Amino acid sequence: MNMSIIRSIGFALLLLVTACARADSDIVISNAWARASAPGQQVAAAYMSLQSKRDATLVKAESNVAGTVEIHSMTMENDVMKMRMMDELPLPAGKAVHLEPGGLHLMLFDLKQSLQAGDKAEFTLHFKYADGTSNQVRIVAPIRNRADHAH
Ligand SMILES: [Cu+2]
């Protein structure tokens, strides 16, 4: 185990204690953060790790700082990074799904304010379980210029 992994785990545990106190027991959201926006910028991205004890699907996301939030994937096609909107994001039981720079992310459109490092953004995530029941989880994510930990 190298130092950066140990740091990541320590950071994740810290966030579990601070950020996840209100999370539903079946779904744990950790490492949530939103990227600070440049002045005049209308879009931004948010990242987090999602893990569900049961098969679940993220079907919708909302934020107090954005008019619209979309689930995006990012893939390399012919040396070009392409973002694609996903209608939903599957969360297989027990498997952590990481939204992180260069990969899956929440895309925030129509920012209501510029996102300043040090501020916070709220998100409401809507989940559906395999049995048809649904669940909402509200989180508060810090706004940062970049990830605080390395992968
Ligand atoms: Cu995007």
Q: What is the pLDDT of residues 14-36, one digit of tens each?
A: 544 444 444 446 999 999 999 99
Does residue 4 have a pLDDT over 70?
no
Whole-angstrom CA distances from 133 to 107, 115, 140 are 26, 34, 24
Q: What is the pLDDT of residues 69-104, one digit of tens each?
A: 999 999 888 999 899 999 999 999 999 999 999 999
- The predicted model scores a pTM of 0.79
Does residue 148 have a pLDDT over 80?
no
CATH code for position 13: 2.60.40.1890
Q: From the CA of 2, how far away is ligand 1's center (Å)?
A: 31
The band of 9, judged by pLDDT with boundaries at 50, 70 and 90, is: low
Question: How many domains does the chain contain in total?
Answer: 1
Q: From the CA of 108, how far away is ligand 1's center (Å)?
A: 8
Does residue 120 have a pLDDT over 70?
yes
Q: From the CA of 82, how far away is ligand 1's center (Å)?
A: 9
More confident residue, 140 or 8: 140
Q: From the CA of 45, how far away is ligand 1's center (Å)?
A: 7
Tell me 146's DSSP state. S
Q: From the CA of 84, how far away is ligand 1's center (Å)?
A: 7
The domain containing residue 37 runs over which residues?
A: 3-148
Burial of 76 (0-12, 13-18, 19+ CB in 10 A): exposed
Share of the chain above pLDDT 70, in %: 80
